[in-house]
Amino acid sequence: MLNEDALQRALRAAGLTAPVRWNEVTESTNATALNMAAEGTPAWTLVAAGHQTAGRGRRGREWRDRSGSALMFSVVLRPPQEPEGVGVISLAAGAAMAEAASDLSGLEIRCKWPNDLMASESKVGGILGEAEITDGRIGHVVLGIGLNLEPPEDVPGAGGIGDVDEEALLTGFIRRFRPMIAGSPEAILDRWRAVSATLGRSVEATTVGGDTARGVAADLDETGGLLIETGDGVVRVAFGQIHHLDVNQG
């Protein structure tokens, strides 16, 4: 299990120094990190826990973990990007974690747009990005990442990546993620495409206007939005939940 020393080592391995916070049990690492960010904590502040009692996913969903059998952490960022770039930062986190988890577990971990981490058709993790935007500028972004080593009980479709070293997994993530977000958005999108579980598949998604779009997930646009080829043309989906319709494919 992690501790504060392990968090500091993971940061140092990527050439970083920042405050860290470790709790055996907490309500939500994202909630803690958001409070710290509002109080002015610097970029790369790292918050992690062994168990969350009120973990959160996207769109108000609950995130449940098996105590002591999941890597759960949040990182504070203060990026120079315009607000439209927040989605690309979340995709970078997904690509970095998919690569790190694949290397350590021997499994093929891939990214389901926009924020799920998958082993085949089982969800093994997810990413929650929350930003504070003032006067059209990003004040801070908090990225929360949860990755199951063993799946929680009674969560349909959940999976795990097995008994991997949590410190090595966190270190592998940060060492990939830091240079990735310092690069171009185009390079980030290419890294995500390489580990995508969504592109090329038949999907159903909800558009910004609330309409349902069905078709083939063709590509991403420059902000990380999903482009779906439908019978009526290309539809862009910026936010929302998608479903893979061809579930027998990899």
- The share of the chain scoring above pLDDT 70, in percent, equals 94
**Domain 4-194 architecture:** 2-Layer Sandwich (3.30)
CATH number of 202-244: 2.30.30.100
Confidence check: pLDDT of 57 > 70: no
- Cα separations (Å) of 177 from 41, 74, 93, 162? 20, 13, 6, 22
Structure confidence by residue, pLDDT tens digits, 136-181: 889 999 999 999 999 988 888 999 999 999 999 999 999 999 999 9
Structure confidence by residue, pLDDT tens digits, 169-189: 999 999 999 999 999 999 999
DSSP state of 58: G
Predicted local confidence at residue 55, as pLDDT:
67
Work out the mean pLDDT of the chain and round it to a whole number. Answer: 92
Confidence check: pLDDT of 206 > 60: yes
Kindly indicate the confidence band of residue 101, based on its pLDDT and cuts at 50, 70 and 90: very high
**Exposure letters 190-204 (e unless 16+ CB within 10 A, then b):** ebbeebbbbbebebe
Confidence check: pLDDT of 45 > 50: yes
Reduced to 3 states (helix: H, G, I; strand: E, B; else coil), residue 2 is coil
Predicted local confidence at residue 249, as pLDDT:
43
Confidence check: pLDDT of 63 > 90: no
Kindly indicate the confidence band of residue 67, based on its pLDDT and cuts at 50, 70 and 90: confident
Domain ranges of the chain: 4-194, 202-244
- What does the DSSP assignment read for 154-205? T-TTB----S--HHHHHHHHHHHHHHHHHS-HHHHHHHHHHTBSSTTSEEEE
Residue in the structure block whose two tokens are 């063993």: 150
Predicted local confidence at residue 167, as pLDDT:
98
Confidence check: pLDDT of 208 > 70: no
Q: In what order do the strands lie in the sheet with 46-49?
A: 20-23, 46-49, 70-77, 137-148, 122-134, 116-119, 109-112
Residue in the structure block whose two tokens are 């097995």: 162
Q: Where are the alpha helices (DSSP H) in the chain?
A: 4-13, 29-38, 86-105, 166-182, 185-194
Predicted local confidence at residue 64, as pLDDT:
75
